[in-house]
Chains A and B, each alone.
Chain A
């Protein structure tokens, strides 16, 4: 019952989440991050760290986010792991404003 990254992370990719994570379970592509459900320990440390509220605990999330469980599981398997905080994408601040966060 892991945590997942959802749509809010799109074209944003602030990586504050990564620096709060005690294990290495975040994987990245050009758009966003994905959590490897087999490695995530469900500690919840990343949730408050994410400035755009993109991360949910699967046990406790809105129903419309459910498709993201599969996306995280599948995408994380084939993408490189990201181990430390990175520069946000250039679009990041705009995305945050768009989301009203």
Chain B
């Protein structure tokens, strides 16, 4: 049906860190990718991509692309490299690693990767088997959504929840802490369709994002206080007698305890904390309970403050209280990936991890490199791919200091000399999307997505997985998985026998480019109509007795030892942010403004922020500030300003706007440090939130000053 007729067209899957995982079509002439477009047959992609990917071919052939293996010749960070051969590069890496292993053991080496590529073969977990076999330090990777995962798994289990496509049937849609217009565009198009058919669209966000401006109702809690809002919604649903008691009695656990906990979390109480009027909270509660089907789409940002996990436990309890799950298009959506049938144990091979292997969390890599963590074995080498911690991780000044150390041997597999690769001892040229076969996981829809090798890599670039194959051979790793071709990996990594894959195999994927998982259709899927939650009890768990903290397996190489493990509150509640004028007045005396750092509309994390025409489209680093705060600081529109706190500083251009309330500034993420003065993460804290070792990117106080 979707089969491509012209030989010059190939199916692609967008490999970027975006829930939409668009199905694409590469147009290839004479072995060169000439253009890319959205697959018109894909029900979510619908023929369109986004501002980032619409000219993806230009990224493939950008003049700054790393084409050959290189060795550092100047001081670290000088970006002086010389070209070397693949053999020399790999021999040098292996010999350095062997020396380190002899002296300190394999745990002195750490892998560092994330979702810079979302492929099953070349993405997040692509190097896990290799480093697990080596016995390297396990890298826990919790950039984005892992606290949310912990809270979600505790409350409702590994369910995909509401199909994002089923929102077409929703009558009430709450988008909570997600700027869909910029980061979930293809879901937004569905939400708009529902709105045209009469659904009310509510956006909850601490500033007037592009998405909030398009909503029927924008609710604007102070940063980090969404948990108070959620608890008061629970209170008010109960108080207004809007609980679906039959649903609660049959399909949930811990209602009485939740009711007790929520009894003091009144709308008036929450109003004080959030700044949202109590009557608005009551109205939200009433509408959420009565306008069915009601669907809640939570964004990654909801976890980014101290109480993030608890917030998500509270929010994901709401649809079971109101019985929204009874309806198609009713309930809540976190990451649909939970129902994708991937064999993470085969991909990651946790069975190869030596007992007692230490874990370092990627958000705290700066602290690890500077010896601030209590590690059994200090880190002497890091291999970094699919990730760029110098712009993306918090406390970046520490990371840079750590990377500068002569004691650290850094290997980067990269497309460009990123802010992190700038400090590498060896840079390896990595293939880009169109240049390698893979299947791309999605945390935003219920389709498998295929990506064909559509063109050869320029220069001597090779796919990530080929890098690990070659390194494994040089290190004498005998396990057969290190010899699998990319196609064989795909055969082994997907559970093709699972019920969700009925009628789908790799051949089907190659022919069609994508496949809808057989987990119900958008028009009939109501997975928890009669409970059936994939929790131990089969119920939605308002209360989880004996719960302890953990990070979901795929984000820690499937290693289950040495989990955080501290006891968690059995019930959801509001946990205040660490850094806000209300909770830390002493710090707020020096740094009175809360900063939020969402993704830039025109960049994808730090990808594209080095390409001139993308920078032109996105504009330079800006700092959104209210007129009230600007005036108090003698700042006028367009002034150069510095944003700083005890951790670091960055510079930007002041944009005075009503889109942020007094007390709040917004600066978007992704700008390169080497092209700017600092980046937003220079000021971010590497402290974890309450669950899943999630980042606290929205829990930071700063001061803004004029510099011109």
The answer to whether A45 touches B616 (Cβ under 8 A) is no
Residue of A nearest to B40 (CB): A20
In the complex, A83→B602 CA distance in Å? 25
Chain B contacts with A in 19-37, Cβ cutoff 8 A: 37
A79 within 8 A of B: no
Number of A-B contacts (CB under 8 A): 58
A2 to chain B, nearest CB (A): 9
B49 touches A22 (CB 8 A): no
Given known A-B contacts A20-B48, A83-B196, A44 and B54 have beta carbons under 8 A apart: yes
User: Is B37 in contact with A48, judged by CB distance below 8 angstroms?
Assistant: yes
B376 interface contact, C-beta 8 A = no
Assess the B617–A41 pair: CB atoms within 8 A. Answer: no
A1 to B619, CA, bound (A): 8
A39 interface residue per 8 A CB criterion: yes
Q: A59-B613, A59-B617 given as contacts; is B186 within 8 A of A22 (CB)?
A: yes
Determine the distance from Cα of A81 to Cα of B508 in the docked complex, in whole angstroms.
41
Scan B169-183; emit 1 where CB is below 8 A from any A CB, else 0. Answer: 000000000000110
Give Cα A39 to B189, complex, Å. Answer: 13
A23 lies within 8 A of B51 (CB): no
- The answer to whether A45 and B48 touch (CB under 8 A), given A22-B185, A59-B613, A60-B613, is yes
**A43 contacts partner chain B, Cβ-Cβ < 8 Å:** yes
B616–A1 contact, CB under 8 A? yes
Contacts of A45 in B (CB 8 A): 38, 47-49, 54
> Which of the listed residues B48, B601, B613 has the most CB atoms from chain A within 10 Å of its own CB?
B48
Q: Contact between B49 and A41 (Cβ–Cβ < 8 Å)?
A: no
Query: How many Å from the CB of B421 to the closest CB on chain A?
Result: 27
CA distance A43 to B55 in the complex (A): 10
Q: Is A93 an interface residue (CB 8 A)?
A: no
- In this assembly, does A24 line the interface, its C-beta being within 8 Å of a C-beta of chain B? yes
Report if A42 contacts B (CB, 8 A): yes
B214 near A23 with CB under 8 A, answer: yes
B193 → chain A, closest Cβ, in Å? Answer: 10
Residues of chain A with a CB closer than 8 A to B616's CB: 1, 59
Output the least CB separation between B668 and chain A (Å).
Answer: 15
User: In the complex, A41 Cα to B613 Cα: how many Å?
Assistant: 15
Q: In the bound complex, how far is the Cα of B613 from the Cα of A1, in angstroms?
A: 11
Q: Output the nearest chain B residue to A42 by Cβ-Cβ distance.
A: B51
| Interface members, chain B 177-207 (any A CB < 8 Å) | 181-182, 185-186, 188-189, 192, 196
Check B50 for interface membership: any CB of A closer than 8 A: yes
Query: What CA separation (Å) do A47 and B189 show in the bound complex?
Result: 17
Cβ-defined contact, A44 with B196, below 8 A? no
Contact of A22 among B192, B196, B601, B613 (CB under 8 A): B192
- CB atoms of B37 and A43 under 8 A apart: no
Contacts of A24 in B (CB 8 A): 192, 214
B-side contacts of A38, CB under 8 Å: 213
B188 touches A22 (CB 8 A): yes
A88 CA / B144 CA spacing, docked (Å): 46
Report if A20-B214 is in contact (Cβ < 8 Å); known contacts: A41-B185, A59-B616: no
B192 touches A43 (CB 8 A): no
Q: Which of the listed residues B49, B51, B192, B213 has the most CB atoms from chain A within 10 Å of its own CB?
A: B51
In contact, A1 and B617 (Cβ under 8 angstroms): yes
Partner of B617, one of A23, A42, A83: A42
Complex contacts, A23 vs chain B, CB 8 Å:
181, 188-189, 192, 214
Encode contact with A along B46-75: 1 for CB under 8 Å, 0 otherwise. Answer: 111111001100000000000000000000
Alpha-carbon separation in the docked complex, A82 to B602 (Å) = 25
Q: Which of A1, A22, A59 contacts B48 (CB 8 A)?
A: A22
Convert B601-641 into 0s and 1s, putting 1 for each residue whose CB lies closer than 8 angstroms to a CB of A.
Answer: 11000000000010011110000000000000000000000
Return the contact of B51 from the options A39, A43, A48 (Cβ within 8 A): A43
B51 touches A44 (CB 8 A): yes
In the bound assembly, the distance between CA atoms of A24 and B210 in angstroms comes to 12
- Cα of A22 to Cα of B184 in the assembled complex, Å: 11
Q: CB-defined interface of A54-83 with B at 8 Å, one 1/0 digit per residue?
A: 000001100000000000000000000001
Q: Mark A16-45, 1 if CB is under 8 A from B, else 0.
A: 000011111000000000000011011111
| Chain B residues positioned under 8 Å from A48 (CB to CB) | 37
CA distance A46 to B619 in the complex (A): 22
C-alpha spacing A44/B54, complex, angstroms: 7
Chain B residue, CB-CB nearest to A22? B189
Name the CB-closest residue of A to B602.
A42
Give chain B nearest CB distance to A32 CB in angstroms. Answer: 22
Are A41 and B214 in contact, CB atoms less than 8 angstroms apart? no
Please provide the 10 A-B residue pairs with the shortest distance between their CB atoms, ordered closest to farther.
A45-B48, A44-B54, A22-B189, A42-B51, A1-B617, A43-B50, A59-B617, A43-B48, A22-B185, A59-B616
Q: Can you list 21 pairs linking A and B with CB atoms under 8 Å apart?
A: A1-B616, A20-B47, A20-B48, A22-B46, A22-B185, A22-B188, A22-B192, A23-B188, A24-B192, A39-B214, A41-B182, A41-B185, A42-B51, A43-B48, A43-B50, A43-B51, A44-B49, A44-B51, A44-B54, A59-B617, A83-B196
Q: A44-B51, A59-B613 are known contacts; what are 11 more A-B pairs with Cβ within 8 Å?
A: A1-B616, A1-B617, A20-B46, A20-B48, A21-B48, A22-B185, A23-B192, A41-B50, A45-B47, A45-B54, A59-B616
Contact surface of B with A, Cβ cutoff 8 Å:
37-38, 46-51, 54-55, 181-182, 185-186, 188-189, 192, 196, 210, 213-214, 601-602, 613, 616-619
